[in-house]
Structure 1
């Protein structure tokens, strides 16, 4: 597992589009918005303030997660976890937990005190994983997303890394 770099852009684009198409309710962005974007769009995602981490099965990228630390002075003790996705063929092997363990450890090493994430309220499997790692729900947004005419509610979760 490692931070994704510009050289990983083709694999990143592929898994990102797969994620957006496979589980549209899990992402604010849509497949339709990103599918025709040029390579530079995905390179920018890997070079902006958000850090993407990937886990590989040999040379194949099979899971991603992002970590975004606030740049605002009063909020830089916090970071958001996002874009959590494990490829279909790699599920059921603990990869999601490994990704999250890595990003939690990285956040701790960066001095981040609090992690936040957003998850679809109906995604019980993901919520159970987050809870097993010490996250708890602190908020709820009704009709946060609208996917194919269906509203998706979202839970806001957090974890303190330092008290």
Structure 2
């Protein structure tokens, strides 16, 4: 697989991103119910294309990361949060996720952020290991925050300085 190109999403990416989002849905990382038809638009007022970085190789979208402000408060404007991160199954373990996280750090800096935060489910060991290897640290844990597949799962808050 060639090195992925990381770029800002375009509105033309909507259908491919929506399908990727649906086929990768799992309680390993999702707390919302599995999407069912009729599907909601991928991009909307709260999730515009410019908030997404897309990994692409051979003309195919292999993953995305979404950067957004965690709150609309001016006092919190120096913080960006990763609020969505997906890598296609066939691209996992090939550096696509790492490339997306590194691009998110670079993009957050270019947007003037001083901190980058995220939330990850406690049982999502692969994602937590990736985030830790890229400089994120656990900053808090909400114990048993979600009930998924009959088990209570922690919500882990992580962040890093930029």
Q: TM-score, normalised by structure 1?
A: 0.86
User: Contact 1:25 / 1:152 at 8 angstroms: preserved in 2?
Assistant: no
- The corresponding residue for 1:72 is 73
Equivalent of residue 24 in structure 1, options 9, 23, 27:
27
Q: TM-score, normalised by structure 2?
A: 0.87
CA RMSD of aligned residues (A): 2.0
SS in 2 for 1:42: coil
CA distance in 1, matches of 2:46, 2:20: 13
Count residues in correspondence. 156
Pairs within 5 Å for 1:3-152: 3-20=8-25, 23-31=26-34, 34-38=35-39, 41-44=41-44, 47-48=47-48, 51-69=51-69, 70-152=71-153
User: Contact 1:6 / 1:46 at 8 angstroms: preserved in 2?
Assistant: no
Structure 1 residue runs of 4+, over 6 Å off? none
CA distance in 1, matches of 2:153, 2:47: 30
User: Contact 1:27 / 1:83 at 8 angstroms: preserved in 2?
Assistant: no
CA distance in 1, matches of 2:45, 2:17: 10
Shift, 1:29, TM fit: 2.5
| The structure with more helix, counted as a fraction of residues | 1
* Contiguous gaps of at least 5 residues in structure 1: none
CA distance in 1, matches of 2:108, 2:36: 30
* Contiguous gaps of at least 5 residues in structure 2: 1-5
